[in-house]
């Protein structure tokens, strides 16, 4: 390492080299580069208990205006009734050249503010005077008593990283397993006994074991569309507490095998026993005896309807119930785990075999089944046996059909918490969501006037309901982005009335059409059908995760104006494959031309080796959707 590089890695001491840096050598087009990202975690003893202290130091060079947003810093931390964390010793500054002299601008500590969401906090601040050409740096410490989950370390950012290193000092009382993720291997890995002073804990003399992990020249993470979470693919290292060694010689195994984890959850009063209590108390909550003569499907739907109608989701996730069962009956409001453990208990009481399934939401990252890490999970759903078939369900969303899961839950697999062997269940959507668009168009004074009706079902309907609801102004703004003129008064909205209902829009639009004295050129599907390929990159190294399979159909009924005939029709085309399908057809009936485009993406997830075919298929959709009908004026004899 050069003298300049050594200097550059000391927080608060800036080298001339950093300020003069013009680009990242291994990623020249980057808007900014992380010069160094250093983390150190020490486990210390306070008041006869251990806490960890993470100290982090970051330096970034900003090359362009597009990189200035990296000066907006967020530091997440967690506080609950059982976990206490605090952020302190925050420092930040920017370095700039002004009048050929380096100028340092320090962060004003009064500009720090904290945002809260449930038990999570985010300390936020903006580093002052940051601009293209600046070097910025910041440091902070986090103290936490949650030794179950010491901080993970992400080597990769969405900008390139020149040097990232993480050092952790382990004490003999807490043992951890770690796993490395990402295509780039470690450039540095060392383990050694600390050369510092010995420590004493209840008569046990020990020295820390120091582990250091490092990477250099880490390329930026390309946040491609249609992935679950960046955390599933970036280069990082995760830690999980595996064992606690007490000073008296006893040992508590935290992590051993999946069956051991399943047993622990089953025996936990805030998980398995909570579910058992719900089953025992079921008759006091709902008329269970009235359900028993019904079919299994009717009983299943009745229980889900009861929970969704009588309890409110508090919009938090978790594995364990945070309330006691009696508290939930008083508040009638709970986390996903509380509502779904309740649901499993009620289903069992109604004669429907049901078990909890623990999962990781999409934004929490994928589960690696080869690593029995409990912190890989953050949510609980239910697997019920209905008419001999496995049925996953969730009781948090009243607009969701009882045999559907919230989109955020669709993340490959979940672990069944049942007595017996380790069992994994697929957590993916298998039913098609459909959107059908009918366009009735006519040629009027040089323009195409169209009446449009779009009907959305299943997840498509839920997405429209969540995004637009009944907000006319928001819907009109969206339609006006795609059309030349939209008739405000023509818009009608039919919102979802409940689970399995559709979301519908009808409206009128007017768009110009290319024409000559002799011919009219009409794009039949206007801007309703895809006009650009969703899959831009020529190659892809990550799976394409669409969340659910879907069908799109577009049906244009074009009235041929008097005095015109059809001069040109695009060729019919049909593609049928296991992964996708498309059909394009035209049909002339009297003075009506019917053009239909239907395509299906049959899988929720496409692997990288399927990407080329998927991209080519979608290109053909765009091509057919863009083809024009040509009408020609008839010559009067």
Residues 390-448: tens digit of each pLDDT: 999 999 999 999 999 999 999 999 999 998 789 999 999 989 999 999 999 999 988 99
Mean pLDDT of 271-293: 95
> Helical H runs in 203-271?
258-267
For residue 239, the tally of other CB atoms under 10 A from its CB is 20
* pLDDT higher than threshold 90 for residue 44: no
Q: Give the 3-state DSSP-derived string for 184-211, with helices as H, strands as E and coil as C.
A: CCCCEEEEEECCCCCEEECCEEECCEEE
- In 3D space, the residue among 570, 595, 557, 567 whose CA is nearest the CA of residue 442 turns out to be 557
Domains of the chain, start order: 3-252 (2.60.40.3140), 258-427 (3.10.620.30), 433-451+509-633 (2.60.120.1130)
Indicate the SS3 state at residue 299.
helix
Please, which pLDDT band fits residue 223 given cuts at 50, 70 and 90?
confident
Q: Which range has the worst mean pLDDT, 148-162, 240-254, 588-602?
A: 240-254
pLDDT of residue 3: 37
- In 3D space, the residue among 393, 377, 397 whose CA is nearest the CA of residue 385 turns out to be 393
Please, which pLDDT band fits residue 7 given cuts at 50, 70 and 90?
very low
pLDDT of residue 1: 39
Please, which pLDDT band fits residue 196 given cuts at 50, 70 and 90?
confident
Distance CA 281, CA 362 (A): 33
Distance CA 299, CA 402 (A): 12
Say what the pTM is.
Answer: 0.81
Would you state the structure tokens that stand for residue 595, as one six-digit string?
């053009």
pLDDT of residue 245: 85
* pLDDT higher than threshold 80 for residue 373: no
pLDDT of residue 571: 95
Q: Which range has the worst mean pLDDT, 373-377, 477-481, 505-509, 514-518?
A: 373-377
Would you state the structure tokens that stand for residue 379, as one six-digit string?
């949510």
Q: Mean pLDDT, the chain, as a whole number?
A: 91
Mean pLDDT of 308-327: 94
Please, which pLDDT band fits residue 148 given cuts at 50, 70 and 90?
confident
How many CA atoms, within 13 angstroms, populate the side-chain half-sphere of residue 505? 30
Please, which pLDDT band fits residue 255 given cuts at 50, 70 and 90?
low
* pLDDT higher than threshold 60 for residue 76: yes
Mean pLDDT of 64-83: 91
Please, which pLDDT band fits residue 2 given cuts at 50, 70 and 90?
very low
Cβ distance 300 to 352 under 8 Å?
A: yes
pLDDT of residue 615: 96
Distance CA 531, CA 550 (A): 18
For residues 87-106, one letter each, b for 16 or more C-beta atoms within 10 angstroms of the residue's C-beta and e for the rest, the string is: beebebbbbbeeeeeeeebe
pLDDT digits (tens, 9 = 90+) for 10-43: 788 888 888 889 999 999 999 999 999 999 999 8
Mean pLDDT of 615-630: 96
């Amino acid at each position: 390492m050069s003298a300049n590089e050594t200097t550059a890695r000391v927080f608060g001491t800036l080298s001339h080299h950093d300020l003069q840096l013009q680009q990242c050598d291994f990623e020249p087009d980057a808007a900014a580069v992380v010069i160094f990202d250093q983390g150190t975690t020490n486990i210390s003893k306070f008041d006869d208990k251990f806490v960890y202290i993470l100290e982090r130091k970051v330096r970034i060079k900003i090359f362009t205006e597009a990189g200035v947003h990296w000066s907006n810093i967020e530091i997440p931390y967690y506080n609950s009734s059982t976990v206490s964390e605090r952020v302190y010793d925050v420092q930040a500054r920017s370095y700039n050249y002004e009048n050929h002299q380096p100028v340092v601008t320090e962060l004003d500590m009064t500009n720090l503010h904290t945002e809260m969401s449930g038990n999570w906090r985010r300390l936020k601040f903006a580093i002052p005077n940051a601009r293209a050409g600046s070097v910025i740096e910041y440091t902070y410490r986090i103290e936490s008593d949650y030794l179950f989950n010491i901080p993970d370390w992400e080597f990769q950012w969405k900008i390139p990283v020149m040097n990232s290193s993480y050092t952790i000092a382990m004490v003999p009382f807490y043992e951890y397993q770690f796993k490395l993720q990402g295509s780039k291997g470690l450039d540095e890995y060392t383990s050694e006994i600390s050369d510092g002073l010995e420590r004493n804990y209840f008569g046990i003399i020990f020295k820390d074991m120091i582990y250091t992990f490092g990477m250099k020249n880490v390329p930026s993470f390309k946040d491609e569309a249609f992935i679950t979470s960046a955390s599933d693919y970036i280069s990082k290292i995760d830690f999980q507490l595996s064992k606690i060694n007490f000073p008296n010689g006893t040992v508590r195994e935290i992590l051993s095998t999946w069956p051991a984890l399943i047993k622990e959850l089953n025996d936990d009063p805030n998980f398995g026993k909570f579910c058992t209590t719900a089953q025992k108390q079921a008759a006091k909550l709902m008329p269970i005896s009235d359900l028993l003569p019904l079919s299994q499907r009717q009983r299943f739907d009745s229980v889900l309807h009861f929970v969704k109608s009588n309890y409110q989701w508090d919009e938090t996730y978790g594995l364990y119930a945070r309330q006691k069962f009696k508290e939930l009956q008083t508040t009638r409001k709970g986390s996903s785990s509380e509502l779904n453990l309740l649901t499993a208990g009620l289903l069992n009481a109604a004669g429907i075999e049901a078990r909890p399934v623990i999962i990781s939401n999409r934004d929490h990252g994928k589960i690696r089944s080869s690593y029995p890490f409990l912190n890989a999970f953050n949510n609980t759903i239910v697997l019920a046996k209905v008419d001999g078939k496995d049925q996953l369900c969730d009781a948090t969303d009243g607009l969701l059909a009882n045999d559907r899961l919230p989109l955020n839950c669709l993340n490959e697999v979940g672990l069944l918490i049942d007595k017996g062997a380790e069992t994994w269940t697929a957590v993916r959507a298998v039913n098609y969501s459909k959107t059908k668009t009918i366009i009735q168009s006519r040629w009027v004074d040089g323009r195409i006037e169209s009446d449009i009706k779009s009907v959305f079902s299943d997840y498509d309907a839920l997405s429209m309901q969540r995004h637009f609801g009944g907000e006319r102004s928001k819907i009109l703004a969206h339609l006006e982005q795609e059309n030349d003129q939209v008739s405000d008064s023509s818009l009608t909205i039919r919102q979802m009335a409940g689970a399995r209902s559709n979301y519908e829009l009808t409206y009128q639009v007017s768009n110009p059409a290319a024409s000559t004295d002799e011919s009219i050129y009409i794009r039949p599907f206007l801007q309703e059908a895809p006009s650009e390929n969703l899959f831009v990159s020529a190659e892809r190294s990550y799976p394409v995760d669409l969340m659910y399979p879907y069908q799109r159909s577009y049906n244009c009924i074009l009235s041929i104006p008097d005095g015109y005939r059809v001069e040109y029709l695009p060729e019919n085309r049909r593609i049928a494959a296991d992964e996708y399908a498309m059909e394009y057809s035209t049909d002339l009936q009297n003075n009506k031309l019917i053009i239909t485009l239907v395509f299906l993406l049959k899988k929720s997830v496409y692997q990288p080796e399927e990407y080329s075919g998927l991209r080519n298929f979608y290109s053909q959709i765009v091509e057919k959707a863009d083809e024009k009908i040509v009408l020609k004026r008839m010559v009067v004899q």
